[in-house]
Structure formats: structure tokens, C-alpha cells
Structure 1
Amino acid sequence: MRTRRIAFTCPERKDQVARRAALSPRGGRPPAFDEERYKQRNVVERCFNRLKQFGG
């Protein structure tokens, strides 16, 4: 995805946050997460799923 410059839009898992915090006192750099983009992606994915379901 990075080579194609596609932004990652999934939220970070709780275990990843805890592991990063355990490795370093500062916690490292968290990945960027855009909640609005995540909502829009969900709408698009549901639309494609409906099209697949009724497409035959």
C-alpha cells in the first residue's frame, strides 16, 4: 500500500497500542487514523457487498 501511496484507514488494535507502550516510555509513533475516512470506507465496502450479493 505504501508503494502505491494508499493511506491506511483502519484503527489500531488495543494489543498493538499496549505492546508499543511497553517497548518504549514514549510509546513510539502511532499510525495516523482518520475516523471520517474510516466511516466513508465502510460505506463503500457495504455498497460493494450489496452489489455482489444481488449481482448473481
Structure 2
Amino acid sequence: MTKLSELGPPNLGRRGREPAAELDHFYVCRNCGQLVDRRDLRQVIWHQNPEHERLEFDS
């Protein structure tokens, strides 16, 4: 399993104004069912590959 830290430093992009609720920053990946934080470009790009595995988050 790939750890999030192995993908490099966080890349927290700015998308204009902030969503009204914290939950709006996340979506569920259609392929693996994992929650993806849209504010972290590493996670978004990782989950674009249809054959990816789930990410392991660092403790």
C-alpha cells in the first residue's frame, strides 16, 4: 500500500472561495471507496488512475 507521504509534500491548491462546510472538501473515490480531500492535489491525482490502490495515511 502506498503512503500519502511517499507522494511528496502536500500541494494544497486554492480553489477560490472556501466551501460552506468542511465535508464539501471531500468526495468518495468511485474505484476504491476512499475519501479524497480535494484540497490535496496529491490525493486527487492519485485517485484519477482507475487501477490505483487505496492510500495509507501517515499516523
Look at both structures and tell me which one has the larger radius of gyration over its CA atoms.
Answer: 1
TM-score range, shorter chain: under 0.3
Q: What is the TM-score of this pair, normalised by structure 2?
A: 0.24
Relative to its length, the structure with more strand (as a share) is: 2
Q: What is the TM-score of this pair, normalised by structure 1?
A: 0.24
Larger RCO (alpha carbons 8 Å, 6+ apart): 2
